[in-house]
Amino acid sequence: MKDFKLYAITGEQFHPGKDMLDVMEQAILGGVDIIQLRDKSGDIEAIRKKAVALRQLTAKYGVTYIVNDYIDIALEVDADGVHLGQGDVPLAEARRRMGKKIIGISTHAIEEAIQAERDGADYIGVGPIYPTKTKEDVVDPVTVSYVKEVASTIKIPFVAIGGIKLHNVDEVIKAGATRICAVSEIVGSDDIQRTCREFLSKLEKARAIHGIDH
């Protein structure tokens, strides 16, 4: 998969009254390089319509597009991949269905990260780093100590996620993260493009220090 730095999730509960496509386009214009459609409660037909619209938007800008959970919809709209949680379809089954498309796996402990890497995940989510209201299923924060574990153990790309804001992202980066996902801080921002650029500035400075140029 293409390298990435900044990952955004639709998080419609954080931008009530704003059109999802407008919000995500602003994120893309701000420099986000992966977009994920995440809708745990919507009607399946409504999700399918969103999936089609987001595919068109991301294709327009050449941005990687991931669908959360719904493998059938991801395949139907020709998304670039799917993101799965620990309780979702086993990775081996997802790989059989998705072929060479991207498969991301959420992890909350180093054992899960190692297993996901061993099973052939293309990237993993590492979190939640801080308390977050994004997910309905409550998972205790893993803190930046987990980021340090993953950074020193795992070879595939990982993205830190969960409660990450502009005011605390430096701590996450210092722990070893070179890719981050922010939800409410991006999609709930009054100036989405500026917020994305500020995240990217911090990430790019860290990558330069560590000699990561891709």
Could you give the residue numbers annotated as active site?
38, 106, 135
* Residue 206 near residue 173 (C-beta atoms within 8 A): yes
Give the three-state DSSP class for 13: helix
Q: Euclidean distance between the first and final Cα of the chain, in Å? A: 12
The CA distance from 34 to 136, in Å, is 22
- CA–CA separation, 206 and 203 (whole Å): 5
- Beta strands 102-107 and 123-126, pairing class: parallel
